[in-house]
């Protein structure tokens, strides 16, 4: 073996390695350079007046039509009206986006405008100083936005995000089953709800479809009961301070246990995913479950799992999660979540104006008219949604003065996972209301 | 410059230099890739495991061995270890003997032998995720198993096994066995075919029964293959992930959690990258120690002589 050959081989390896690493850097460079260079090159106020070219990098997750086209149209319209602004749209699928964003943030390539769900995830990004405080920037027009929704993107009283969608978890039910069981008045309190479950059981129906494999669905019950028992003050305190010792959380577990003790769930519910074959939605679709506690997306999921037997929303009804008599929480408070946008720390000032355009009444009405499951949060846009199922959810949302963000998003993924797991021991294992709270507290304290 | 050095190498044909250059040349590409894709990630995981880190913030919250203490004290992780151990024991006690029996049977001449070999091996070819999805569809209420058992009058014996914390591990083991017995069968069959038929014939002439011939001639000669089969089975059971993640995601209520599922859930679902890395390190050390020990004490006889020195 000669040295020349060895040298040649080394050179080849070096080239291959350089190509591997270089490729990664090359793909990410264009997305960041324009956005981060722009503000440095031009004084914030001057850039728009002078019409200096600005690029806004925008990451969203509406990767299917009609949402994909609507976002593109809105961006095109904005660019037509502001010739100096270029919007660089980056579309990623939901899960792919989370991975992509994590990578971008780790590299320090913060997009100018990007998808956020608020809550603990947003707080982590804020604490890592990736997100711009937009409190002052939106002060002039934030009254146009549903305050309940806006509050979900606040961190320590400051605005770090702008919602464009807020959905609500509620009780979906098969209207036919309720009629046959003679349930005419929809349950407004937890006791009435338990009585309705008993009536359904007596008629030989499976009262509740639950997707036990996806533990977040079971955790909805506990979380909603906690919202009822603890109220906004109690929830805020626990979520923000990590102190879950208020007895109201044990009470929530006790309320849930009353339901579990009735064995209201479909056969094999512990292995049922929320979507697909053998799922909770499939149980609803095939009348193997009368009620399912789920978000506004359920009608679409039921349709997809019905084997074309049911059209969108066919035979479905909706009512708000029942109130708990004598509890601290308002009976119309909600549990839900939605989508919004956060502004990157180095975003050009035009980003705020573009964001305003995205959540303008006109844009919101166009979103609503699509009836795609996005429930716009701009005040006055409610009527644009015409789908009867989604309108029911919107009516419920209008009554809610406070909407608790899904607990696994309001806290951290870590604590959220622990909550889902702990609640599952109530309906799938030998957990007690106290042991559930103990497990949650242990996870919260460990952070 | 290269021409000078190569000319010198030609002028001074040092055998030792040539040998080392050759070794380096052959090792270097593999070594570079190995460092990049194996050693470096392991080192990174080991480093992350000492931090409380969610993957976003800078890596500053050094916690020492706290992640390891927490994992080993967590009843869920301990449960996962027990589940892995149970799968290992069941695999060795049931799966391998079953595969061995089939291999012995299929090593004899009879009609349809080829088709049976093919059929038994087929499940191994199917991707693990596909296996998991199909098994879920078969075992769920109103699924194939439910309908079939009702049709033959055993409807009462049906049970949603995957949905019951008490039976889920057994159901999973059944699926694992279904998928992997064919692989072990083929391994053992290959081993059996390497054993000269004359030896068994000689035993028969000496008056050994068929059973004695198997016990005292075939099995000892099949030893190396069995030991490899056992090794693969153990490592496979310890790393068990795909099948569990797709069928049950470790549930119901952690009843089918395995170490790898626990690691994935904590790391990539709950974004506890520091803690997840600690679990990964535990899993790695466990596999590594086990593999080394097995090589050292069990496979030693088989690998001796396989390596050439000098």
- Supply the pLDDT for residue A413: 84
Q: Do A417 and B269 touch (CB under 8 A)?
A: yes
Kindly state whether residues A81 and A144 are assigned to the same domain: yes
Residues 6+ apart with CB under 8 A from B160: A267, A268, A270, A271, B139, B140, B141
Buried/exposed B62-94: b ≥16 CB within 10 Å, e otherwise: ebeebbbebbeebebbebbbebbeebbebbeee
> What are the structure tokens assigned to A191, written together?
């006791």
- Minimal Cα distance from A7: which residue of B? B2
Q: What architecture is the B66-303 domain classified under in CATH?
A: Orthogonal Bundle (1.10)
Q: Do A417 and B252 touch (CB under 8 A)?
A: no
* Confidence check: pLDDT of A98 > 90: no
Q: CA A427, CA A255: separation in Å to the nearest integer?
A: 12
- Residue of A271, A412, A417, A442 to mutate, testing the B interface (most B Cβ within 10 Å of its Cβ): A271
- Minimal Cα distance from A11: which residue of B? B29
- Supply the pLDDT for residue A23: 35
CATH of the domain at A372: 3.40.190.10
Kindly state whether residues A215 and A264 are assigned to the same domain: yes
Q: Do B57 and A128 touch (CB under 8 A)?
A: yes
- Supply the pLDDT for residue A36: 39
> What are the structure tokens assigned to B269, written together?
């679902």
A22 found inside a domain: no
Percent of chain A with pLDDT over 90: 74
Which sequence spans correspond to the domains of chain B? 66-303
Short-list A283, A300, A278, CA closest to A207? A283
Q: What are phi and psi of B225, to 5 degrees?
A: -65, -45
Kindly state whether residues A274 and A423 are assigned to the same domain: yes
- Per CB-CB distance under 8 Å, the chain A contacts of B76 are 421
Residue whose structure tokens are 């701009």: A378
ipTM: 0.80
- Residue A50, domain extent: 31-166+337-389
CA distances, B48 to each of A192, B260, B266 (Å): 51, 17, 14
Q: Do A6 and B24 touch (CB under 8 A)?
A: yes
pLDDT, tens digit, for every residue of B81-92? 999 999 999 999
Kindly state whether residues A191 and A326 are assigned to the same domain: yes
- Residue of B270, B276, B279 to mutate, testing the A interface (most A Cβ within 10 Å of its Cβ): B270
What is the average pLDDT across A112-126? 92
Buried/exposed A104-113: b ≥16 CB within 10 Å, e otherwise: bbeeebbbbb
pLDDT, tens digit, for every residue of A332-377? 999 999 999 999 999 999 999 999 999 999 999 999 999 888 999 9
Confidence of residue B270 (pLDDT cuts 50, 70, 90): confident
The mean pLDDT of chain B is 89
- Residue of B60, B252, B257, B276 to mutate, testing the A interface (most A Cβ within 10 Å of its Cβ): B252
- Per CB-CB distance under 8 Å, the chain A contacts of B32 are 13, 17
Q: CA B190, CA B167: separation in Å to the nearest integer?
A: 35
CA distance B115 to chain A (A): 33
pLDDT, tens digit, for every residue of A136-146? 999 999 999 99
Q: Do A106 and B56 touch (CB under 8 A)?
A: yes
Kindly state whether residues A298 and A197 are assigned to the same domain: yes
* Confidence check: pLDDT of A272 > 90: yes
CA–chain centroid gap for A427, Å, is: 24
Residue whose structure tokens are 């919107």: A394
> DSSP states of B35-80 as a string?
IIIIIHHHHHHHHHTTB---SSS-S--B-TTHHHHHHHH-HHHHHH
Q: What is the dihedral of CA B224, B226, B230, B231, to 10 degrees?
A: 20
Residue whose structure tokens are 């949302």: A397
Kindly state whether residues A429 and A287 are assigned to the same domain: yes
Confidence of residue B279 (pLDDT cuts 50, 70, 90): very high
* Minimum mean pLDDT range among A389-393, B31-35, B55-59: B55-59
Q: If you count residue pairs, one on A and one on B, with CB atoms under 8 Å apart, how many are there? A: 123
Pairing of strands A113-116, A154-155: unpaired
- Supply the pLDDT for residue A37: 38
Q: Do A270 and B252 touch (CB under 8 A)?
A: yes
* DSSP bridge partners of A145: A378
**Cβ atoms of residues B48 and B54 within 8 Å:** no
The mean pLDDT of chain A is 87
Q: Do A272 and B163 touch (CB under 8 A)?
A: yes
Number of domains chain A is built from: 2
- Minimal Cα distance from A6: which residue of B? B25
pLDDT, tens digit, for every residue of A17-74? 434 433 333 333 333 333 333 343 333 444 445 578 999 999 999 988 889 999 999 9
């Amino acid at each position: 073996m000669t040295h020349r050959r060895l040298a040649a081989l080394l050179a080849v390896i070096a080239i291959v390695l350089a190509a591997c690493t270089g490729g990664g850097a090359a793909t990410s460079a264009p997305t960041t350079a324009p956005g981060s260079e722009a503000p440095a090159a031009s004084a914030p106020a001057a850039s728009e007046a002078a019409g200096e070219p600005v690029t806004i990098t925008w990451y969203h997750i509406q990767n299917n039509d009609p949402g994909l086209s609507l976002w593109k149209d809105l961006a095109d319209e904005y660019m037509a009206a502001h010739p100096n602004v270029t919007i660089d749209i980056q579309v990623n699928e939901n899960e792919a986006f989370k991975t992509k964003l994590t990578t971008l943030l780790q590299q320090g390539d913060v997009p100018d405008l990007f998808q956020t769900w608020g809550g603990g995830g947003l707080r982590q990004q804020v604490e890592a100083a990736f997100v711009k405080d937009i409190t002052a920037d939106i002060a002039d027009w934030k009254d146009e936005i549903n305050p309940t929704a806006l509050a979900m993107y606040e961190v320590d009283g400051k605005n770090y995000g702008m919602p464009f969608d807020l959905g609500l978890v509620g009780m979906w039910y098969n209207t036919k089953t309720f009629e046959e069981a003679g349930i005419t008045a929809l349950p407004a309190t937890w006791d009435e709800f338990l009585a309705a479950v008993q009536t359904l059981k007596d008629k030989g129906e499976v009262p509740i479809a639950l997707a036990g494999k996806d533990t977040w669905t079971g955790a909805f019950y506990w979380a909603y009961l906690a919202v009822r028992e603890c109220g906004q003050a109690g929830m805020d305190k626990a979520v923000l301070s990590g102190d879950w010792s208020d007895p109201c959380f044990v009470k929530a577990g006790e309320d849930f246990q009353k339901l579990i003790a009735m064995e209201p769930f479909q056969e094999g519910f512990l292995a049922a995913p929320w979507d697909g074959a053998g799922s909770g939605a499939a149980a609803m679709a095939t009348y193997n479950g009368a009620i399912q506690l789920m978000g506004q997306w359920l009608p679409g999921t039921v349709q997809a799992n019905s084997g074309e037997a049911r059209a969108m929303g066919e035979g479905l009804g909706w009512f708000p999660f029942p109130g708990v008599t004598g509890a601290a929480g308002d009976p119309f408070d909600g549990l839900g979540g939605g989508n919004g946008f956060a502004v990157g720390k180095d975003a050009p000032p035009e980003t705020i104006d573009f964001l305003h355009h995205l959540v303008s009444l006109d844009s919101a009405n166009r979103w609503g008219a699509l009836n795609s499951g996005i429930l716009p949060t701009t005040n006055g846009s409610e009527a644009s949604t015409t789908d009867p199922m989604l309108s029911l959810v919107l009516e419920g949302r209008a009554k809610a003065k406070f909407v608790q963000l899904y607990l696994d998003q309001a806290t951290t993924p870590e604590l959220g996972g622990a909550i889902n797991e702990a609640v599952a021991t109530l309906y799938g294992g030998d957990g007690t209301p106290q042991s559930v709270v103990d497990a949650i507290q242990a996870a919260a304290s460990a952070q | 410059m290269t021409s000078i050095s190569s000319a010198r190498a030609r002028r001074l044909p040092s055998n030792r230099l040539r040998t080392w250059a050759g070794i380096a040349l052959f090792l270097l590409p593999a070594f570079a890739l190995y460092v990049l894709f194996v050693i470096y990630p392991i080192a990174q995981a080991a480093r992350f495991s000492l931090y409380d880190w969610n993957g976003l913030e800078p890596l500053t919250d050094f916690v020492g061995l706290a992640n390891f203490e927490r994992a080993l004290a967590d009843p869920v992780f301990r449960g996962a270890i027990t589940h892995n151990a149970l799968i290992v024991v069941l695999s060795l006690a049931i799966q391998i003997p079953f595969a061995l029996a089939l291999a012995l049977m299929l090593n004899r001449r009879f009609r349809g032998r080829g088709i049976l070999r093919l059929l038994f091996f087929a499940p191994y070819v199917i991707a693990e995720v596909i296996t998991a999805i199909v098994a879920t569809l078969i075992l769920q209420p109103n699924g194939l198993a439910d309908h079939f058992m009702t049709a033959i009058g055993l409807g009462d014996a049906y049970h949603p096994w995957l949905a019951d914390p008490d039976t889920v591990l057994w159901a999973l083991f059944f699926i694992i066995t279904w998928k992997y017995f064919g692989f072990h069968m083929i391994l053992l069959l290959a081993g059996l075919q390497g054993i000269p038929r004359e030896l068994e014939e000689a035993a028969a002439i000496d008056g050994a029964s068929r059973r004695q011939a198997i016990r005292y001639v075939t099995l000892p000669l099949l030893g190396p293959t069995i030991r490899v089969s056992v090794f693969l089975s153990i490592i496979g059971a310890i790393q068990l992930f795909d099948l569990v993640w797709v069928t049950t995601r470790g549930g119901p209520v952690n009843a089918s959690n395995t170490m790898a599922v626990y690691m994935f859930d904590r790391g990539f679902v709950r974004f506890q990258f520091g803690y997840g890395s600690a679990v990964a390190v535990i899993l790695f050390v466990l596999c590594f120690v086990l593999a080394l020990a097995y090589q050292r004490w069990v496979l030693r006889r088989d690998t001796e002589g396989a390596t050439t020195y000098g």
